[in-house]
Amino acid sequence: MRRLSGSGPTPGWGHETPHEEGAAILSVNELELSYPSRRALDRISFELGKGEQVAVVGPNGAGKSTLFKVIAGVMKATGGRVTIGGHGPVEHICIAYIPQRNQIDWSFPVTVSDVVMMGRAGRLGWLRRPRRLDQERVRECLDLVGLSDLAGRRIAELSGGEQQRMFIARALAQEAELMLMDEVLAGCDWRAEKEIFRILERLRSRRVTIMMATHDLDQAAAHFDRIMLLNRRLIGMGRPEAVFTPENLRETYGSHLRLVQTDTGLMILSDTCCEGGEHSDNG
């Protein structure tokens, strides 16, 4: 009873379909998600190469989380197609979605290593309990994000940055090849941010592909291979200097953004963060 649903469209719990030779790690084609009243994602197409790190930038309600959830196979699109290594998302367990912090019940009675072990569960499947190999794997992952000392700590006692690193460790334990990080920098101080970018460099050497939703245009420009400007449709995607044009930014942020031309260059004033309590800190 390792697999419940056999060889249907969803191969099920713990099943990873091998990637096709030469297929992009992530390919999104004419993706569309419409609700009766509005369109959340509008004909989005792009491709990511293995090991690429991309920042997804756009105002609140631009569809960043929605896009991630569709790519992860958690939400269904109403049109278009997402493939991971040549196959649909639900045939993979190599996609990790790193949640926004306020989506998690931090009072849940589990420790840091318990949470990271949950990432192993997909590799275990039904009925099997973690073995020594899995324990070791969890330790390695905690080590890689610098949380070894906090392995036995209850998750309620973590700082914002530690919480995010724990989820990155869980994604590593899951052996994720594509990590979708939803606002992981929200609620982090500069030191925690630095630590996360150091981890991203380590992930780069492991050729883990990363998409990170962020509000911080400076960080996006400094640390990522490519930037995606998203506001329900894909406004631009490419190197920071090519994408951050006044036209693109105005189109992405609309009235939320003020562009000021000064002697030293273009100055951008934005007030996009924390509207509607999207990033309210969770105690």
Partner 1 sequence: MIEILIEPLHYPFMIRGFLAAIMVGVVCGIVGTFVVLRGMAFFGDALAHAVLPGVAAGYLVAGGVRSVLFWWALGTAVLVSMAIGAVSRAARIKEDTAIGIIFVGMFALGIAMISATRNYAVDLIHFLFGDVLGVSWSDLSLILVFGGMILGVIFILFKELVILSFDQTLAQTLRLPTKRLYYTLLILIATTVVISMQTVGVALMLSMLITPPATAYLLARRLPVMILWAAVLGAVSGVIGLYMSFYFGIASGAAIVLVCTAFFVVVLMIKQLRAIGVIGKSFPRAPDSE
Question: Residues in the site for partner 1, rule: CB under 8 A?
Answer: 4-5, 10-15, 69, 72-74, 90, 92-93, 95-97, 99, 103-105, 108-111, 114-115, 118-119, 121-122, 124, 126-127, 129, 154, 170, 174
Question: Which is it for the CA torsion 168, 169, 173, 175, positive or negative?
Answer: positive
Structure token pair of residue 201:
């460099």
Least distance to partner 1, CB of residue 262, Å: 43
Give the contacts of 109 (CB within 8 A, at least 6 positions apart): 154
Of the pair 96, 213, the CB lying nearest partner 1 is at 96
Q: Which helix (H) or strand (E) holds 113?
A: helix 112-124
Distance set, CA 207 to CA 49, 50, 77 (Å): 10, 6, 28
Q: Minimum distance from CB of 48 to partner 1 (Å)? A: 17
Q: Are strands 265-270 and 257-262 parallel, antiparallel or unpaired?
A: antiparallel
User: Residue 260, exposed/middle/buried by CB under 10 A (0-12, 13-18, 19+)?
Assistant: exposed
Least distance to partner 1 from the beta carbon of 242, Å? 32
Q: How far is the CB of 281 from partner 1 (least distance, A)?
A: 18
Q: Given the complex with partner 1, which of 54 and 72 has the nearer CB atom?
A: 72
CB of 145 to partner 1, least distance (A): 17
Output 154 or 233, the one with its CB closest to partner 1.
Answer: 154
CB nearer to partner 1: give 4 or 274.
4
